[in-house]
Amino acid sequence: MTITITVRKTGSLFITADDAPNVRLIDHEGNEIPKPPEGKPLSLCRCGASSRKPFCDGTHSKIGFLAGEFAQEIAAQVVPSAAVDVAAPVTEIKT
Ligand code: FES
């Protein structure tokens, strides 16, 4: 079965109510994370600001979260010299 995770442009990782029963969430120690009741979608935080992690609580809209590629577009408009090709492989790491 294919489970679709939708990466929202300025918000969470979204899994429909139909797919949610087939998703198992575990923490870093392998413990199961309880999911919302059956029939509800899963919305996982990717902004880091939710007070209900790993679930989205809508805080992303209050903090103006922009996904990396979207934020990169905005940054390049403001500071063109800061433009970075996020898809390019890392060939050098400066310390
Ligand atoms: S993505 Fe919604 S609170 Fe983080």
Query: pLDDT tens, 41-82?
Result: 999 999 999 999 999 999 999 998 888 777 777 777 877 775
Number of domains within the chain = 1
pLDDT beyond 90 at 19? yes
Separation CA 56–CA 59 (nearest Å): 7
pLDDT beyond 80 at 12? yes
Q: Please give the distance, rounded to the nearest whole angstrom, from the Cα atom of residue 15 to the centre of ligand 1.
A: 14
pTM, entire model: 0.74
Cβ distance 12 to 46 under 8 Å? yes
Question: Which atom of ligand 1 is nearest the CA belonging to 8?
Answer: 1
Residue 1's pLDDT is 85
Q: Which structural domain, as residue segments, surrounds residue 48? A: 6-82
Q: Higher pLDDT residue, 91 or 33?
A: 33
Q: Higher pLDDT residue, 91 or 32?
A: 32
Query: Is 59 inside any structural domain?
Result: yes
Query: Is 93 inside any structural domain?
Result: no
Residue 50's pLDDT is 96
Query: Is 95 inside any structural domain?
Result: no
Transcribe 26-69 into DSSP letters. B-TTSPBPPPPPTT--EEE--SS--TTTTB--SHHHHHT---HH
Burial class (CB in 10 A: 0-12, 13-18, 19+), 34: exposed
Q: Please give the distance, rounded to the nearest whole angstrom, from the Cα atom of residue 20 to the centre of ligand 1.
A: 18
Query: Is 88 inside any structural domain?
Result: no
Query: Is 89 inside any structural domain?
Result: no
Query: Is 45 inside any structural domain?
Result: yes
pLDDT beyond 90 at 95? no
